[in-house]
Amino acid sequence: MEISQYLITDHRECDNLFARAEAAAAKGDFALTKDEFLKFADETLLHFKKEEDEFFPKFEELTGSSDGPTMVMKHEHEQVRGLMGKMAEAIENEDKDAYLSLAESMMILLQQHNMKEEQMLYAMADRVLQPNGKAELIEKMKEVAL
């Protein structure tokens, strides 16, 4: 399996969970929004952890740089985490307009972040790593837990 295939599947799953939480919020059902949002947040944070604990260190090892693209990606992860906190606050306050507004920012932020990872980092890792190296990295990422 390619690195991109494995990690892009995570991205798509997060998108689906995000859309379900947003749909619940649009209906004003905050109990359901909370459930769906927690699933989205858990899945996204787990994906970040896989990248930060396993993928980025491997990428840095391959490129010989730890202050390049991975640093920007980690910074964007922080932005997403911050936004998640604000979205959780909007759910607690049952503020539909605030949630939908923050969701809009979250969606664009995540998508442009994902696009950079998919088009650049994952693609590079796929080009550089040998098949056994890819398999080993994917196994390590599968073992990561929150």
Partner 1 sequence: MFENSGLSMDQAPPIVVVLRFFLTGSIFGIVASFMLFFYGKSVTNFSSAQALALTHTLTLGVMASFMFGALYQMLPVLCGVAIKEPETLALRVNYALILGTIFLSISFFTANLILYILAALSLAYALFTSSYVMIKKLKTISHSSSSRGMLLSLISLVFVAILGLLLLSLRGGFNINIDYLALKSAHFSFGLFGWIALLIISVSFQVIEMFYVTPPYNKRYANYLPQIIITLLFINLFSAIFAPAILNIVEYIIILLVALHAGLTLIKLKQKKRAVTDATILFWAFGMSSYILFAFFYTLSQFITIPTTIVVTLFAYFALSIVFAMSYKIVPFLVWFHLNAKGYFEVPMMHEIAHPKYARVNLYFFITSFILLILANFITIFWQIGSISLLISFFMLFFILYSAIKKYFHILNTGKRFEFNMPKI
**CB 53 → partner 1: shortest distance, Å?**
21
Burial class of residue 127 in the structure, from the number of CB atoms within 10 Å of its CB (0-12 exposed, 13-18 middle, 19+ buried): exposed
Nearest to residue 107, comparing CAs of 20, 19, 30, 37? Answer: 19
Structure tokens at 2: 């390619």
Cβ atoms within 10 A of the Cβ of 118, count?
14
- Determine which residue in the list 81, 115, 135, 142 makes contact with partner 1, applying CB under 8 A: 115
Nearer to partner 1, 133 or 144 (CB): 133
Looking at residues 19 to 38 of the shown chain, list those that interact with partner 1 (rule: CB under 8 A): 19, 22-23, 26-27
Q: Give the span between the Cα atoms of 23 and 8, in whole angstroms.
A: 23
**CB 23 → partner 1: shortest distance, Å?**
3
Which residues contact partner 1 by CB under 8 A? 15-16, 18-19, 22-23, 26-27, 63, 65, 68-69, 71-73, 75, 79, 82, 97-98, 100-102, 104-105, 107-109, 111-112, 115-116, 119-120, 123-124, 128
